[in-house]
Amino acid sequence: TTRSLFLLPGDGIGPEAMAEVRKLIAHINEKEDAGFVTDEGLVGGSAYDAHGQAISEEDMAKAMAADAVLFGAVGGPKWDGVPYEVRPEAGLLRLRKDMALFANLRPAICYPALAASSSLKPEVVEGLDILIVRELTGGVYFGEPKEIVDLGNGQKRGIDTQVYDTFEIERIAGVAFELARTRGNKVCSMEKHNVMKSGVLWKEVVAATHAAKYSDVELTHMLADAGGMQLVRWPKQFDVIVTDNLFGDMLSDVAAMLTGSLGMLPSASLGAPDPVTGKRKALYEPVHGSAPDIAGQGIANPIAMIASFAMCLRYSFGMIAEADRLEKAISTVLDKGLRTGDIMSDGCTRVTTSEMGDAVLEAYAAG
């Protein structure tokens, strides 16, 4: 078999983190005959510098054709003044839109070695492993009308519209239930049916999807504001949380802070299965940005990018054993006390980006 990966390292620390993933890909190809075939393109500011677009049509076509896209990060002060349509973020937005990536997966895992440095009490987060599934292409960020209306009396009105259709709720619920089956078999759906019509429909459709196809999974419902509270109070009560675009944006940022640094957090964005091959389009990226303040120094934490690659192994290629081993390798390296600057604490050993990448590779190879 061949497995195609399209790499878009982007700007700032993106290429530095991607270099560590490239080492892992080479190792897995060599030792495990995985058949990864990689190609690489430009996105963000580096693409703008090369050809005046945030991503070229040629690279878009490659992203659409690949089994999976690995994305680093885009942006930086260098491109603050470029025209809006070709700003660095436009490259990522174009990828999300054309690949129709409607499901955003954000795990919040607390590695034992980092439990003490969480903003919550260690016992609240130790062993935490939850997954937030956020609807990414609908809801209030996209619904029409979306405008600022001049009311003519010195007043203006800002309008955003929350819209969800049955099929959008069904497909995101389906992703959440399927993922739950591979984990703790529990889904908590969050909305605000007490004040929102789209919330009433959300709850109904999630329940109907559950009854029709996924009744083996435990389903609960929670109001999204209470959900935010529960995430901070006792996050280990959750396994998979499924929610809409706006609530998911906020709840996944809350969950992120349970586990420590931005430099640790991976994400995946998935599209619908191809009707012929059954394969989903997918893009994997760290949650962090291009970190211009530390770019070029070789000190960025590559774990978020490496953990994103682990998600790619798991969700795009079904390489579950390899994904487990890679996540275990990250945990092992942290247990040994190796730390990049962003997660440094007393008594630990400070390492560079490539030393961290090498240590994870070594632990993976030994695991």
Q: Which residues bind ligand NAI (CB under 6 A)?
A: 13, 73-76, 92, 262-263, 285, 288-294, 300-301, 304, 340, 342
Q: Which of 39, 49, 165, 253 is catalytic?
A: 253
Shortest Cβ distance from residue 97 to ligand NAI (Å)?
A: 15
In three-state form (DSSP H/G/I as H, E/B as E, the rest C), the secondary structure along the chain is: CCEEEEEEEECCCHHHHHHHHHHHHHHHHHHHCCCEEEEECCCCHHHHHHHCCCCCHHHHHHHHHCCEEEEEECCCHHHCCCCHHHCHHHHHHHHHHHCCCCEEEEEEECCHHHHHHCCCCHHHHCCCEEEEEEECCCHHHCCCCCEEEECCCCCEEEECCCCCCHHHHHHHHHHHHHHHHCCCCEEEEEECCCCCHHHHHHHHHHHHHHHHHCCCCEEEEEEHHHHHHHHHHCHHHCCEEEECHHHHHHHHHHHHCCCCCHHHCEEEEEEEECCCCCCEEEEEEECCCCCCCCCCCCCCCCHHHHHHHHHHHHHHHCCHHHHHHHHHHHHHHHHCCEECHHHCCCCCEECCHHHHHHHHHHHHHHC
Instruction: Choose from ligand NAI, Mg ion, none: what does 203 bind? Cβ within 5-8 Å by kind.
Output: none
Shortest Cβ distance from residue 351 to ligand NAI (Å)?
A: 12
Q: Which of 249, 285, 322, 342 binds Mg ion (CB under 5 A)?
A: 249
Provide the angle, in degrees to the nearest 10, between the axes of the packed helices 320-335 and 353-366: 120
Q: Which of 98, 129, 160, 225 is catalytic?
A: 225
Instruction: Choose from Mg ion, ligand NAI, none: what does 172 bind? Cβ within 5-8 Å by kind.
Output: none
296 known ligand binder: yes
Task: Point out which span in 10-18, 245-253, 292-300, 302-310 binds Mg ion (CB under 5 A).
Answer: 245-253
Instruction: Choose from Mg ion, ligand NAI, none: what does 70 bind? Cβ within 5-8 Å by kind.
Output: none
User: Tokens representing 347?
Assistant: 């008594």
253 annotated active-site:
yes
Instruction: Choose from Mg ion, ligand NAI, none: what does 304 bind? Cβ within 5-8 Å by kind.
Output: ligand NAI
Shortest Cβ distance from residue 45 to ligand NAI (Å)?
A: 8
Q: Which of 249, 284, 342, 364 is catalytic?
A: 249
Task: Point out which span in 86-94, 224-232, 244-252, 351-359 binds Mg ion (CB under 5 A).
Answer: 244-252
Number of residues that bind Mg ion (CB under 5 A): 2
170 known ligand binder: no
303 known ligand binder: no
249 annotated active-site:
yes
Task: Point out which span in 32-40, 73-81, 166-174, 249-257 binds Mg ion (CB under 5 A).
Answer: 249-257
Instruction: Choose from Mg ion, ligand NAI, none: what does 76 bind? Cβ within 5-8 Å by kind.
Output: ligand NAI
291 known ligand binder: yes
Instruction: Choose from Mg ion, ligand NAI, none: what does 262 bind? Cβ within 5-8 Å by kind.
Output: ligand NAI
300 known ligand binder: yes
Provide the angle, in degrees to the nearest 10, between the axes of the packed helices 14-32 and 303-317: 50
User: Tokens representing 80?
Assistant: 């603050």
C-beta of 308 vs 332, nearer to Mg ion: 308
192 annotated active-site:
yes
263 known ligand binder: no
Burial of 125 (0-12, 13-18, 19+ CB in 10 A): buried
For position 67 contacting Mg ion by CB under 5 A, the verdict is: no
117 known ligand binder: no
Annotated active-site positions, please?
A: 141, 192, 225, 249, 253
- Which residues of the shown chain bind Mg ion in the complex (CB under 5 A)? 249, 253
